[in-house]
């Protein structure tokens, strides 16, 4: 079966009626063969070409070549120039990272503007094997060993079934013209080193080496998908939402054969080395493991996960009077009657209104704060009160206190101060209520 027939066989999804496709064309061998295959199958396509202006006249030559080919074949061609070197320096990124980000941002813009169903890139079997080895050398889990995926959102790689040799043979048989990127001959990048030195060794060892590695990467991808499905459903059962994020019981994690895999699934796309995770799980309570996205806290018999946004809220809110409007807080004055019953909800404070002096201030608790917890005769540090009530390090950041003058009326959601409690002589009551997950 020739490449043209295999192209249709391996990509049935793209041959649906009214499918509109944007294809990324650099002008090189791979993308020009993909362009030709699409044209011969009469697919509805448009071309996108990026000129990164990194190779002087050679970059301009590539752009001119792609534009002329598109014009010759009557195909829409979108072209954009990028000052890649300058942008990389401004953003403090590598040239490769910058070029990739610029390229895909351009493609996404075209897809959204022109409503293309797919973006085609010309990655093939050799690229997939190179990627597997790059991931191995940089350190990866099973997901990295799964290599390049054929489809991710609207990005589609219809050439993954073909080897570089297949593509070269097709180009010769069909007189496909293309341009050479001189940077591909250099060993400046890890991919080029693997391509020039490791790939020939593999192919000399076995002519089926690339195919076998690609087949293994597909199998690993299927296993990864199954594992992720299991962990996703396991998390649904075992995650408990809290104000600071969510928790999972430590013993539930330790029941798994590899708690590190579960944790890395939760914090994906980042990844923490398994030994570091094991060390964290064996550490004392209060230990924190951090990534760019998550902070993970060991809190006694549970693990708390919190995304790294702004959590500590130091803003103050002032109740000038009973009629003051403070978001998600309400104050109501109630005259005491003989059948009055105190609301036991922790989110409600019921206090003697005659003992309160306005304004009331709602603020974050501070080290050194003291109050007299309801039912106690002596003052207690708020910090000690939180420890005694086993409030986690993350949840402590969200604790507020409501004050009158220099006295704490209420450690919000937990305990009022005994000095403001309702007694037999209380005539009127302030009922203060708040709603969680608002701070």
Do 323 and 402 sit in the same domain of this protein?
yes
Do both 198 and 342 map to the same domain?
no
Q: Pairing state of beta strands 294-299 and 240-242?
A: unpaired
The 8-class DSSP code of residue 194 comes to I
What distance in Å separates the CA atoms of residue 313 and residue 397, rounded to the nearest whole number?
Answer: 7
Q: What angle do CA 168, 10, 8 make, to 5 degrees?
A: 80
As a three-state string, the secondary structure of 111-141 is: HHHHCCCEEECCCCHHHHHHHHHHHHHHCCC
**Domain-located, residue 400:** yes
Same domain, 192 and 251: no
Please check whether residues 176 and 47 belong to one and the same domain: yes
pTM, full prediction: 0.67
C-beta contacts of 95-102 below 8 A and 24+ residues apart: 95/54, 96/189, 99/50, 99/52, 99/54, 102/50, 102/52
Q: Domain for residue 229, yes or no?
A: no
Would you give the DSSP letter of residue 433?
E
Residue 164 CA to residue 170 CA, distance in Å, equals 10
- DSSP H stretches of helix in 337-400: 382-388, 393-396
Q: Which two tokens stand for residue 40?
A: 């011969």
Give the CATH number, domain containing residue 281: 3.30.465.60
Q: Is residue 164 part of a domain?
A: yes
Specify if 84 maps to a domain.
yes
d(CA 270, CA 430): 48
| pLDDT number for residue 439 | 40
Can you tell me the distance from the alpha carbon of 209 to that of 180, in angstroms, rounded to the nearest whole number?
A: 26
Assess whether 191 and 246 both reside in one domain.
Answer: no
User: In sequence order, which residues have a C-beta less than 8 Å from that of residue 157 and are 6 or more positions away?
Assistant: 120, 121, 122, 123, 148, 149, 150, 151
Encode the chain (439 residues) as per-residue pLDDT tens digits.
Answer: 899 999 999 999 898 888 999 999 999 999 999 999 999 999 999 999 999 999 999 999 999 999 999 999 999 999 999 999 999 999 999 998 999 999 999 999 999 999 999 999 999 999 999 999 999 988 777 888 999 999 989 999 999 999 999 999 999 999 999 999 888 888 878 899 999 999 999 989 988 899 999 999 999 999 989 988 999 999 999 999 876 689 999 999 999 988 988 998 888 878 888 889 989 999 999 899 988 888 999 998 999 998 886 555 567 889 988 888 787 788 888 888 777 788 888 899 999 999 999 999 999 999 999 999 999 999 999 999 999 998 888 888 889 999 999 999 999 999 999 999 999 899 999 999 987 654 4
Question: Cβ atoms within 10 A of the Cβ of 219, count?
Answer: 12
Establish if 345 belongs to a structural domain: yes
How many Cβ atoms are within 10 Å of 357's Cβ, its own excluded?
Answer: 9
Question: Domain ends where: 158, 183, 216?
Answer: 216
Residues 203 and 74 in one domain: yes
What pLDDT does residue 436 have?
64
What is the C-alpha to C-alpha distance for residues 274 and 263, in angstroms, rounded to an integer? 9
What's the CA gap between 198 and 176, in Å, rounded? 28
Nearest Cα neighbor of 50 from 89, 19, 84 is: 84
Number of domains in the chain: 3
Same domain, 138 and 115: yes
Whether 82 is covered by a domain: the verdict is: yes
Question: Is the same domain home to 61 and 162?
Answer: yes
Residues 383 and 287 in one domain: no
Q: CA angle, 319 as apex, 313 and 324 as ends, to 5°?
A: 115
Cα–Cα distance list, 401 to 196, 356, 374, 422 (Å): 65, 15, 14, 19
Residues 396 and 255 in one domain: no
* Residue 231 maps to a domain: no
Domain end residue (candidates: 307, 327, 361): 307
- Residues contacting residue 68 through CB under 8 Å, at least 6 positions apart: none
Burial of residue 202 (number of CB atoms within 10 Å: 0-12, 13-18, 19+): middle
Asked if residue 417 and residue 380 are part of one domain, the reply reads yes
Structural domain boundaries enclosing 284: 239-307
Whether 226 maps to a domain, the answer reads: no
Same domain assignment for residues 17 and 84:
yes
Burial of 358 (0-12, 13-18, 19+ CB in 10 A): middle
């Amino acid at each position: 079966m020739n490449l043209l027939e295999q192209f249709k066989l391996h990509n049935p999804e793209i041959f649906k009626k009214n499918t509109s496709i944007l294809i990324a064309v650099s002008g090189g061998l791979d993308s020009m063969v993909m362009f030709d295959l699409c044209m011969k199958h009469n697919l509805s396509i448009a071309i996108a070409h990026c000129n990164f202006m990194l190779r002087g006249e050679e970059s301009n030559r590539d752009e001119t070549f792609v534009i002329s080919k598109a014009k010759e074949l009557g195909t829409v061609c979108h072209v954009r120039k990028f000052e890649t070197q300058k942008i990389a320096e401004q953003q403090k990124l590598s040239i490769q990272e910058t070029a990739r980000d610029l390229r895909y941002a351009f493609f996404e813009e075209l897809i959204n503007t022109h409503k293309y169903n797919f973006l085609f890139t010309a990655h093939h079997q050799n690229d997939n094997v190179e990627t597997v080895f790059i991931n191995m050398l940089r350190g990866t889990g099973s997901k990295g060993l799964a290599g390049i995926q054929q489809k991710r959102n609207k990005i589609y790689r219809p050439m993954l079934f073909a080897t570089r040799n297949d593509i070269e043979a097709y180009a010769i048989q069909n007189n496909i013209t293309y341009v050479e990127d001189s940077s591909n001959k250099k060993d400046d990048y890890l991919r080029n080193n693997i391509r020039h030195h490791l790939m020939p060794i593999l192919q000399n060892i076995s002519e089926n080496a690339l195919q076998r590695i690609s087949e293994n990467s597909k199998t690993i991808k299927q296993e990864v998908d199954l594992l992720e499905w299991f962990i996703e459903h396991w998390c649904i059962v075992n995650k408990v939402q809290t104000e600071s994020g969510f928790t999972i019981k430590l013993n539930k994690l330790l029941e798994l054969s590899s708690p590190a895999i579960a944790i890395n699934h939760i914090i994906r796309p980042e990844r923490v080395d398994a030994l570091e995770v094991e060390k964290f799980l064996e550490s004392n309570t209060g230990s924190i493991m951090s990534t760019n996205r998550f902070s993970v806290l060991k809190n006694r018999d549970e693990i708390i996960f919190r995304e790294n946004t702004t959590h500590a809220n130091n803003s103050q809110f002032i109740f000038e009077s009973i009629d003051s409007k403070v978001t998600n807080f309400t104050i109501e004055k109630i005259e005491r009657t003989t059948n009055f019953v105190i609301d036991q909800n922790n989110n409600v404070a019921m206090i003697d209104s005659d003992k309160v002096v306005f304004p009331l201030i709602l603020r974050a608790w501070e080290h050194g704060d003291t109050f007299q917890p309801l039912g106690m005769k002596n003052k207690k540090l708020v910090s000690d009160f939180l420890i005694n009530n086993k409030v986690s390090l993350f949840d402590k950041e969200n604790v507020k206190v409501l004050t009158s003058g220099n006295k704490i009326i209420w450690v919000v959601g937990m305990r009022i101060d005994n000095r403001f409690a309702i007694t037999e002589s209380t005539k009127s009551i302030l009922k203060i209520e708040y709603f969680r997950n608002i701070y």
